[in-house]
Chain A
C-alpha cells in the first residue's frame, strides 16, 4: 500500500505519528532526522515505514492552524463572537455608505432603518458561523456564511481550508490509489461532496437551492465522501421520499 506525498494529513488528520508506533520508528527515525520538514518532501513515494516517520508531528510546530480555523478558538463566547462579526460588517458598510454619499443623510429614521438591518443581520449572524467537518478529519472548522454571497466562494474557501495539501490516503486499505486533488466540492465528479444539515435535521446536498434560502436553513456543513452521499436529499425531493443517510 503506497501513498503519495508523505503525510499530507499530518497537520490535520493526526493519522499517524512516530509516537504511536515507537517500535517501528526506532530504526527509521535516524534516516529522517535531517529532513527539515517531512511534509515538504512532496513527490517522494514513501514506503510504509517512511510514511510513519514522515508523520512525526513535532510538538509545537506540527499543527499550527491560524486562529480563524479552529472550532472554539479564540475562546470568545459564541454570542459575543457573532456580535463582533456583525459590528465589523456594519461598520464597514457604514464607511462605504459615507464614501458613496457625499451628503450624509440627516434623517434619523434612515439611520434607524440601517440599525434594523443590522439587527436582521445580527439575527442571521447568530447563524453566521457554522461548523464544518470533513470525513476523516478530527478537527472541525468554522466558516462565516455571511462572508459569502454565493456557493462558489464558499466552496472555494472550504477547498482551501481542507484540501490545501493533497490527500491520498486510501482509507479502504486497497491497493488502488485514489485521485489526488479533489475538484470542486460542488461538482459531483469529485471524491467528496459538500452537504449541510438543515433546520429539520436532514442532510442535503449543497447547491440546490437559492443562496438566500440556503442561509436561512443551514445549521452546519459536512464534507462527505461521495460514496456515502447516496440517497442524500435535495430540496426538491418529496419529503416523503426523503431517505436518511446510510453510511455504507
Chain B
C-alpha cells in the first residue's frame, strides 16, 4: 500500500499540448519509469534534474542506502522518502572492525526503528553493517513490521542470540536471516527452534558464525518445509552426517556453507555424501570447510562445476589440496583463501581459473606466532596476474613484496577497481632493493585508471601520495597505515583525487597543516578518520569552526578510566577568592591543586605570590597558557611544575621552552588525559548536525 502522491494543481491555462514549463509526462508515467531505476547513483542524478523529477524520484524509491548513519536523521529520511521497503544502514567507522573505536561509540539502530515503525510500517528488509543492535531492538523490529522479510547483520554488536529468537518467533514472513561476522553474545542455539512449525517462507539462512549448537531435528524440519530455500550456511559444529541429510532435503541450494570437514567417514557415508553433492547442480557459492582433510575434499568435486564463488578463508588448505579442488571449478569468479596455500597454490589459481575476477588471501596462521611463517609472496600474486586477466579485486596479505612485482602485476591486470595490499610488517621496504614501496603504488594508480579502492602498506614516503593525488582520478576509498613522511603526503591526496569519499588514516605523521589544507574537500566526502597522527585539538577545533556543516568528533580513550576526569568537570570549583589568599602564604613550599579555580588568574596569583614555592602540582583546572607563561622566571626557583587536564596547549609549552632554555619542558601524550592531543579524530559531513548520542569519550567540536 503506497502512500498516494497528491497531484500538483494544474496551471490555469494548461492542457496536454501546452505543457511547456512542466514535465512532458504525467507524473504517474514519470514515476513508473523511474521505478525501474535501481542504481542509487542513477537515482541521485535523476533527483537533481528538476523539482518534478526530484518529487517523482522520491515517491518511487523503495530502497535506500545510508553509508553513514549520522549523516542524516531518521526524520529527514522519512520525510523525503515515504515509500521505503528496504533500508541499508552503515554505522561505525571501518576501523572499528580492528578495535580502534571504543565500545559504546554509538550507531544505535533503535532510534531508526522507532520512526520506521510509524513511517515505514511495511518495511521488508533491513541490512545493517557496523551498527549497535540490542536485543530490545530486535524484538521491537520483530513485533513492529508485519511484512518484515529480510534481516542481514554484518560486523554489528550489542545483541545476543535471544534477539535472534525474537525474530524467528515473530516474523511470519521471514525470507532471509543472514548473520555474518558479528560481535554477538552467543548464548544458545535455541533461536532456531523458535521458527513455528508451519513456517515455510525461508529462502536464506546463514548462521555460519554462530557457535552454539542448534537443534538438528528442528533444522531438518525447517529445511524440509522451506521449499524455496536457496542459501544455507550452517555452523562449524554440523557434522558431515547431518550435512548429508540436509543436502538430500535441499538439493536445489544455490549457496552452501558446510560445517567442519574434519571427520572420519565410513566408506558408505563417503559415497552417500558424494552422491548428495552430485545432486546439487545449482550450487554457485560454497563456503565453510573449517578443518579439512585431503581425503574428504574430492567429495565436493561434483558440486563445483557451476561454482562462481569459493570461500576457503576459514580453512587452511595446502597448495596441493587447493590445486586439486580448483581443477573442478572452471567457472570460478571469486576465490577467498588462506595463505596456507602458499605461492604454489596461487600458481594453481593462475592456471585453473581464467575467469577469476576477485581474489582474497588471508593470513592463515596466527599472525602473532613466532614460528617460521610461510604464507604468500610476490611470486604467488604474479602467478595469478599472469593467468587471470579479468582480475579486478584483490585483497592480499603477505610478508614480502617488491616494487617490480607490483608493476608487472598491474601491467598484466590493468583493470583493477579494488587493490588492497597488506604487507604485514609495518613500514617494511621492498625486500630486494630495500627501497620504499612508492613505485609499486605509483604503478598501481598510473596503470589502473578504474581504481576505486586502494589500501597501501609497506615503507612509504610522501611520493606515494603524490602519485595517488595526481593519478587516482576515480579513487573513492583510501586506507593508509604507518606511511608517509610529512603533511605534504596527505595534502597531495586531498588536493588530488577528485572522487575521494572515504579516507582512513592511522599512525601516520600527518598533522594540522594536512588536516586543514583542503577542508572544503570534506564536504564532498563521506568521512575522514585519523588516529595516531599528529593532529591536535586546536587543529580539530579550527576545522570545526571553518566547516560548520561537518561533524568533527574526537575520541579520547585511554587504558584506564580516563572518562573520570571528564565526568568531574561538573564539580564545584573553589571560589576565586581563595587563590588570592595564596599571595599571603609566604612560607608555602608545596601546593597541590585539583579541580579548582575559575580562570588563569588563580594560577597567576599563586605564581606571583608564594615566594618560597618549590613544587606546584595542578590537575584539572582551567589554567591555560596565560597562566603558565605569566611568571615563567618563577620556575627557575622551583623544583617542578606539573599540570595535567588543564587548558595549556602545545604552543604554550613550546613558548615556555623557548623562553626558558634551562627548563625541561616535557609533554606527556597519554591517551585520554591530555587535553592537547587529538589522538583519534573522526570527521564527517552531516545534514543532521552534531549527533546527540555521543558517549563521554567522544568530543564533538
CA A247 – CA B673 in complex, angstroms?
11
Instruction: Note all chain B residues with C-beta closer than 8 A to A74.
Output: 363, 367, 397, 422, 424
Q: Is A140 an interface residue (CB 8 A)?
A: yes
* B366: contacting residue among A21, A111, A115, A144, CB under 8 A: A144
* Contacts A15-B669, A80-B362, A245-B560; A87 near B290 (Cβ below 8 A): yes
Q: A residues within 8 A CB of B664? A: 1, 48, 51, 173
Q: Would you give the 0/1 interface string for B176-188, flagging 1 where the beta carbon is closer than 8 Å to chain A?
A: 0000011100100
Within B176-205, the residues touching A (CB, 8 Å) are 181-183, 186
Chain A residues within an 8 Å CB radius of B209: 79
Given A78-B183, A80-B313, does the pair A247, B560 have CB atoms closer than 8 Å? yes
Q: Are A64 and B619 in contact (CB under 8 A)?
A: no
User: Would you call A115 and B237 a contact (CB within 8 A)?
Assistant: yes
Question: Do A84 and B183 have beta carbons less than 8 Å apart?
Answer: no
Flag if B654 contacts A144 (CB, 8 Å).
no
Give chain B residues whose Cβ lies under 8 Å from the Cβ of A73. 98, 426, 481
Number of inter-chain CB pairs below 8 Å: 204
Binds A, one of B1-9, B260-268, B546-554: B260-268
State in angstroms the CA–CA spacing of A93 and B3 once bound together.
61
Question: What CA separation (Å) do A222 and B509 show in the bound complex?
Answer: 27
| Contact in complex: A108, B264 (CB < 8 Å) | yes
Min C-beta distance of B625 to chain A, whole Å:
16
Near B by CB (< 8 A), chain A positions 74-122 give: 74-81, 83-85, 87-91, 94, 106-108, 111-112, 115-116, 119, 122
Q: Please, which residue of chain B has its CB at the minimum distance from the CB of A1?
A: B664
Q: Does B512 contact A (CB under 8 A)?
A: no
Chain B, residues 592-628, CB within 8 Å of chain A (1/0): the string is: 0010000000000000000000010101000000000
Write out the residue numbers on chain A whose beta carbons fall within 8 Å of the beta carbon of B265: 108
Complex interface: chain A residues within 8 A of B16 (CB): none
**Once bound together, how far apart are the Cα atoms of A89 and B365, in whole Å?**
9
Q: CB < 8 Å: which of A115, A133, A228 contacts B671? A: A133
B interface majority secondary structure:
loop
Judge whether B485 and A59 touch: CB under 8 Å.
yes
B314 within 8 A of A: yes
Which of B368, B560, B617, B658 touches A144 (beta carbons < 8 Å)?
B368
- By beta carbon, the residue of chain B nearest A140 is B559
With A90-B291, A112-B239, A119-B211 known to touch, is A84 a contact of B95 (CB < 8 Å)?
no
B559/A222 in contact, CB under 8 A: yes
Mark contacts of B488-513 with chain A using CB atoms, 8 A cut-off: 1 yes-contact digit, 0 otherwise. 00000000000000000011010000
CB-nearest residue of chain B to A219? B103
Q: What's the interface size class on B, roughly? A: 35 or more
Complex contacts, A173 vs chain B, CB 8 Å: 639-642, 664, 666
Shortest Cβ distance from A232 into chain B, in angstroms? Answer: 11
Contact of B506 among A51, A72, A119 (CB under 8 A): A72
- Give the residues in chain A near B461, CB-CB below 8 Å: 60
Given A1-B664, A24-B661, also A75-B654 (CB < 8 A):
no
Interface flag for A154 (CB, 8 Å): no
| Interface of chain B residues 641 through 667 with chain A (CB within 8 A) | 641-642, 650, 654, 657-658, 661-667
> How many Å lie between the Cα of A106 and that of B367 in the bound state?
33
In the complex, the answer to whether A14 meets B669 with C-beta atoms within 8 Å is: yes
Tell whether A212 is near chain B: CB-to-CB under 8 Å. Answer: no
Query: Is the Cβ of A122 less than 8 Å from the Cβ of B183?
Result: no
Q: How far is the CB of B13 from chain A (nearest CB, A)?
A: 63
Q: Which chain A residues border B366 with CB–CB below 8 Å?
A: 84-85, 88-89, 144
Query: B361 to nearest A CB, angstroms?
Result: 12
- The reply to whether A115 and B260 form a contact with Cβ atoms under 8 Å apart is yes
- How far, in whole Å, are A178 and B290 apart by their CA atoms in the complex? 52
In the complex, are the beta carbons of B98 and A72 less than 8 A apart? yes
* A91 close to B661 (CB less than 8 A): no
The answer to whether residues A78 and B237 also contact, given A23-B658, A73-B426, A88-B366 and a CB cut-off of 8 A, is: no
Pairwise interchain contact A77-B368, C-beta atoms closer than 8 A: no
Residues in B whose Cβ lies below 8 Å from that of A78: 97-99, 183
Q: CB-defined interface of B100-127 with A at 8 Å, one 1/0 digit per residue?
A: 1000000000000000000000000000
**CA separation between A181 and B455, bound complex, in Å?**
40
Q: How large is the interface on A (under 10, 10 to 19, 20 to 34, 35 or more residues)?
A: 35 or more
Assess the B560–A135 pair: CB atoms within 8 A.
yes
Give the residue name and chain of the A residue nearest to B459 (CB). A60
- Kindly state whether residue B236 has any CB partner on chain A within 8 Å: yes
Q: Which B-chain residue is minimally distant from A123 (CB atoms)?
A: B211
Please give, as numbers and ranges, the residues of chain B lying within 8 Å of A228 by CB-CB distance.
560
Given A1-B664, A79-B182, A87-B314: A24 in contact with B362 (beta carbons within 8 A): no
Knowing A74-B397, A135-B670 are in contact, say whether A106-B264 is a contact too (CB < 8 A): yes
Judge if A68 is at the interface, Cβ distance under 8 Å. yes
Contacts of A84 in B (CB 8 A): 338, 362-367
Are B182 and A131 neighbours in the complex by a CB distance under 8 Å?
A: no
* CA–CA, A91 and B279, complex, Å: 32
Among A60, A65, A66, A245, residue most surrounded by chain B Cβ atoms (within 10 Å): A60
The docked-state distance in angstroms from the alpha carbon of A248 to that of B618 is: 11
A220 to B95, CA, bound (A): 19
Q: How far is the CB of B645 from chain A (nearest CB, A)?
A: 10
The residue in chain A whose Cβ has the minimal distance to the Cβ of B364 is A84
Residue in B closest to A143 when the chains form the complex, CB atoms: B368
Residue contact B425 to A67, C-beta cutoff 8 Å: yes
* Interface presence of A224 (CB below 8 A): yes
**A111 near B671: Cβ-Cβ < 8 Å:** no
Contact with A along B399-439 (1 / 0, CB 8 A): 00000000000000000000000101111000000001000
Contacts of B426 in A (CB 8 A): 64-65, 67, 70, 73
Complex: A91 Cα to B371 Cα, angstroms: 14
Chain A residue with Cβ nearest B241: A108
A240 located at the interface, meaning its Cβ lies under 8 Å from any Cβ of chain B in the complex: no
Q: A88 and B365: CB pair below 8 A?
A: yes
- State whether A15 touches B667 (Cβ < 8 A): yes
Most buried by A among B186, B594, B668: B668
Given contacts A16-B666, A245-B561, contact A91 B654 (CB under 8 A): no
Q: Which residues of B contact A65 (CB under 8 A)?
A: 426
Residue of A nearest to B94 (CB): A75
Q: Does A174 contact B (CB under 8 A)?
A: yes
Q: Which residues of B contact A175 (CB under 8 A)?
A: 639-640
Q: Say whether A15 contacts B486, CB under 8 Å.
A: no
**Contact A224 B560, CB 8 Å, known A71-B100, A85-B368:** yes
Is A136 within 8 A of B670, CB to CB? Answer: yes
- Asked, given contacts A15-B667, A75-B98, A115-B236, whether A80 binds B263 with beta carbons under 8 Å apart, the answer is no
Chain A residues lying within 8 Å of B232, measured Cβ to Cβ, are none
Q: How far is the CA of A106 from the CA of B265 in the complex (A)?
A: 9
Tell yes or no: B155 within 8 A of A by CB. yes
- For residue B564, CB closer than 8 A to chain A, the reply is yes
Residues on B with beta carbons closer than 8 Å to the beta carbon of A40: none
- Distance of B498 from chain A, by nearest CB (Å): 26
Contact of A222 among B99, B560, B668 (CB under 8 A): B560
**A interface footprint on B531-561 (CB within 8 Å = 1, 0 otherwise):** 0100000000000000000000000001111
- Give CA–CA (A108, B260) in the complex, Å: 13
Cβ–Cβ contact B670 & A21, under 8 A: no
B422 surroundings in chain A (CB, below 8 A): 74-75
Q: CA–CA, A94 to B291, complex, Å?
A: 11
Interface residue ranges of A164-184 to B (CB < 8 Å): 169, 171-175
Query: What are 23 A-B interface contacts by the 8 Å CB criterion?
Result: A1-B640, A1-B664, A14-B669, A48-B664, A60-B459, A60-B485, A66-B425, A67-B424, A73-B426, A75-B481, A78-B98, A79-B182, A80-B362, A84-B366, A132-B559, A133-B560, A138-B670, A144-B366, A171-B666, A172-B640, A174-B640, A228-B560, A244-B561
10 nearest A-B pairs in the assembled complex, by CB-CB distance: A133-B559, A72-B98, A173-B640, A79-B181, A68-B368, A48-B664, A1-B664, A67-B424, A85-B366, A222-B559
Given A78-B99, A85-B368, 20 new contacts (CB under 8 A):
A20-B650, A49-B661, A71-B100, A75-B98, A75-B422, A77-B97, A77-B181, A79-B182, A81-B367, A84-B365, A84-B367, A90-B291, A133-B560, A133-B671, A135-B559, A138-B532, A139-B532, A142-B368, A247-B560, A247-B565
